[in-house]
Amino acid sequence: MIVVMQFVAGESLRALIDSHPQGVAAIETARITRDVAAALHRVHGCRGKGQPALVHCDLKPENILLATHIDTRSDIWSLGAILYELQTGKQPFIGSKDEIMEQIERYEPTAPKDLNTAVPALLENGAPVRLINRESQRRTP
């Protein structure tokens, strides 16, 4: 599965580590560790009793973004793409990275109910489609 997200400015934790060959200052290390641990705690705790845990499986400095002004709507978009695939068995946009970006800018994905008639009425109005709206301010869970 390929998930395309909007660009979020910032550097990776890898870039920070590489720019400090003698190590990152203790106070900054503590802050980053606290923030990453809090995020993991939230993710790992988001499951029902007896349900499998959510895990990242590729946690490394290259995959941790340090940004001062993160707009969480990019994560909402990614969740919408995952929900869409869960409901339909298909990704909302298919192709190369450039083709996917063009599709996101020009087209609306097919309504999940049109691809899977078993989608419950509660989700019939396209929760995943609302989450992957190209206009970030219109992404509503």
What predicted TM-score, i.e. pTM, was given to this entire model?
0.56
Mean pLDDT across the stretch 51-65? 79
CA torsion sign for 55, 59, 62, 67 is positive
State whether 88 and 124 are in the same domain.
Answer: yes
| 20-55: pLDDT as tens digits | 988 888 888 888 888 888 877 777 776 667 777 777
With 0-12 CB in 10 A as exposed, 13-18 as middle and 19+ as buried, what is 89? Answer: exposed
Residue 47 sits in which domain range? 10-70
Judge contact between 93 and 104, C-beta under 8 A. yes
Spatial CA neighbour of 62 closest among 134, 122, 12, 10: 12
Number of CB atoms found within 10 A of residue 81's CB: 22
Q: Which of 38, 53, 70 is the last residue of a domain?
A: 70
- Average model confidence (pLDDT) for the chain? 78
pLDDT at 3 over 80: no
Mean pLDDT across the stretch 95-123? 84
Q: Is residue 64 one of the residues assigned to a domain?
A: yes
